[in-house]
Amino acid sequence: MGPEGIGTLVRRFRCQARLTQYELSEISTVSVRAIRDLENGRVERPRQETVRLIANGLHLGESQRLVLHAACGGSAKEAAAKLISDAAPIEPPARINGLSGREAEVQTVVEAMTRDHNRWMTITGLNGVGKTSVALDVAHTLHKLHSYSTLWVSLGAPGPHTDGSDRFRVDSAVVAEVSRIGEHLMGDEFDARQLVQMIGQRRTLLVLDGCDLKQIGADRVLALLAGCHGLRVLVTTRDSGATPGEHLLPLEPLDVPACETNPPARAEHHPAVQLMLSHIRRLQPRAADTSAATVGHLVGVCRALDCIPAALKLGAEWGLVLSPVQLLERARRDPLSLLISPTVGGAGPALRQTLEQSVRTVTATDRQLLGLLAPLRTGWTVQDVARLAGIDEPDSARRVWGLLVRGLIRRVDGSAGSHFRVLNLVARLFEMQEPETVH
């Protein structure tokens, strides 16, 4: 667009806003003469600050600002980067479910990033354990309490926008450029300076949801942190390379309720049971039975499904056609069958499939170790692993650490972290001895 383009655009946007040149001058603080000279084409290349003030005075959307910037001779890429750096703090994606039972984990991450100045946090664990939900709650807390702008990039499975809608409350031009941050990070022509310019120095949370750092490279994340002093990075992944500067939060399943044959008083308020009841009520609004017997059955289902949030949601879906008694019987007999949604044509891979993939991706030595540990349902220690595998204790501790970070084992309640057990669902995979899964 030629030199007259910017003037024509300003005049058109002003007329659409039903403002005179004088009124626009009063609102934008740009002189009437400068606006008149711009509209008449006397000024070929106005200063960016002048254009910004006029755009603010006209309350232009981000896509309209892109057009103005391009009319001044800037590239679309530079304009999009400037939109993000100049925009008001970008809100996180909207929450889909309000209940997560992860308040302690969210508080830990928020405090680590604000009070303890840990700038790079990585949440690890199985698919379906709630990593994305925790990241969403962290983003909302940082935005609300500390005015952080959120740049949300989904690199693996679909993130919070599973319905295909745009839940960022900013103009689509900003959303489009945010979505390309992942492409910039993983691209062959990575340009740290361009991303640093885009993010700027203000408080920003960059969420890399479903990230594989082997594809991106930790050095690229570190380059962004070095260039953007207000940046915090939150990664969700099934695994981690324990990169220097990265602080890990292995996300275990929700706590396991007490035995279903003698559930504690008010067991329906246990986070796992409460989460499953919320899913059941959402599907069956009249299903308000919280008798001791029914709660006891649901406690058993939660235990069989390892209190993995996504598994509890699937169990609630099966509850449309199975009574609590039938659901418990099936969970005891074949819990893996509950990991496949009853929804016809459901989108995305089955939770069972992703669980099998998590087992397949560990080393053959660790799969063999899992097979040895799976039958030990009451728990075991690092010392037990050393004896079973015939290795020294430091090596045993490293291998247990790796399995815990991947979410395939969990700490036994009340053991102060010294006793562990293989997840029930993982143990069932080994009981079935499916060659493609465990060998």
Average predicted confidence (pLDDT) for the chain: 82
Q: Which two tokens stand for residue 291?
A: 């008798």
- Say how many C-beta atoms besides its own lie within 10 A of residue 128's C-beta: 22
Instruction: State how far the Cα of 111 lies from the Cα of 266, in Å rounded to an integer.
Output: 31
Among left, alpha and beta (phi > 0; psi -120 to 50; other), residue 150 is beta
Q: What is the pLDDT of residue 155?
A: 75
Can you tell me which residue has the tokens 């309350």?
A: 59
From the list 273, 268, 277, the residue with the least C-alpha distance to 254 is: 273
Q: Which two tokens stand for residue 21?
A: 């040149």
Give 240's pLDDT tier (boundaries 50, 70, 90).
Answer: confident
Q: Please give the angle made by the CA atoms of 176, 180 and 185, to the nearest 5 degrees.
A: 160
Q: What is the pLDDT of residue 433?
A: 66
Can you tell me which residue has the tokens 């892109």?
A: 66
Residues 6+ away with beta carbon under 8 Å from 117: none
Instruction: Confirm if 178 and 83 have CB atoms less than 8 A apart.
Output: no
pLDDT higher than threshold 60 for residue 396:
yes
- Please give the model's pTM, rounded to 2 decimal places: 0.77
Give 334's pLDDT tier (boundaries 50, 70, 90).
Answer: very high
b/e string for 212-235 if b means 16 or more Cβ within 10 A?
A: ebeebebebbbbbbebbeebbbbb
**pLDDT digit string (tens) for 48-75?**
788 888 988 898 876 677 677 767 766 5
Q: Please give the angle made by the CA atoms of 190, 191 and 196, to the nearest 5 degrees.
A: 130
From 24-28, 268-272, 395-399, 416-420, the region with the lowest mean pLDDT: 416-420
Instruction: State how far the Cα of 55 lies from the Cα of 82, in Å rounded to an integer.
Output: 13
SS3 319: coil
**pLDDT digit string (tens) for 5-28?**
788 888 888 898 889 999 999 999
Beta strand 231-237 pairing with 204-209? parallel
